Amino acid sequence: MAEEQLEELGRRIDVLAARQTGETGTGIQRRVAQLRKLKASARAAAHEAAASIEENVLAVEIRVKIAEQAAAVELAADKDEFLDALVEELGSWDVYLERLQVKVATRAGDHRDQAEGAIRQLRRHRNTLGAGVAEVASTSGEAWYKVREHVKAARDELESRAAEVEATLAERTKQ
């Protein structure tokens, strides 16, 4: 919609530019030049806003995927189903952490080092969860149920820490 409005405004600016003639055209020419700069600035802002919206939608998409996979982990009826779902969830956490790392890396600022430290902590929590995969795989019989509870606690901790990091980054973005 903004792009269509900008195109219409561009046509109107072109009409104004066509009206300039001789001495009376200098004022119009100056106004047209200012309007074209404003239009270019508005177009850049619209593209930036669209990129921000897309980034936010992708972040929500990844978190929904993680939540869906977490539900599959929690509802797994047996050890193999549990392991398959957990491995899928870990893959989504990896994507999430990569996107978060890129987001932080592209933003300069005083808090970048702190944000990168928080991401390292999230990676450690993710790795703890990954260690749970090996632990579950090596258990036999019904012993995996105990390990399952340990893995659930590690997942809850990772989710909690990720929410804290997201909230902190959102707050710093507003500043």
Taking only the tens place, the pLDDT of each residue in 87-116 is 999 999 999 999 999 888 877 666 788 888
Identify the pLDDT of residue 62: 93
| 3-state SS assignment for residue 21 | coil
Rg of the chain on CA atoms, in Å: 26
Identify the pLDDT of residue 16: 84
The C-alpha atoms of residue 12 and residue 38 are separated, in whole angstroms, by: 13
Q: Domain extents for the chain?
A: 53-174
Distances (CA, A) of 134 to 27, 32, 83, 154: 75, 67, 9, 14
Following CA atoms 65, 70, 76, 81 in sequence, which dihedral angle do they give, to the nearest 10 degrees?
Answer: 60
Are 118 and 165 in contact, with CB atoms under 8 Å apart? yes
Tell whether the torsion through CA atoms of 45, 49, 54 and 59 is positive or negative: positive
Mention every residue, 6+ apart, whose C-beta is less than 8 A from residue 99. Answer: 58, 59, 62
Considering the entire predicted model, what is its pTM? 0.76
The C-alpha atoms of residue 162 and residue 63 are separated, in whole angstroms, by: 10
Identify the pLDDT of residue 52: 81
Q: Which CATH architecture has domain 53-174?
A: Up-down Bundle (1.20)
Parts of the chain with a pLDDT under 50: none
The C-alpha atoms of residue 35 and residue 27 are separated, in whole angstroms, by: 12
Identify the pLDDT of residue 174: 65
| 3-state SS assignment for residue 170 | helix
Identify the pLDDT of residue 25: 63
**Token pair for residue 104?**
């932080």
Identify the pLDDT of residue 172: 73
Per DSSP, the residues of 55-82 read HHHHHHHHHHHHHHHHHHHHH--SHHHH
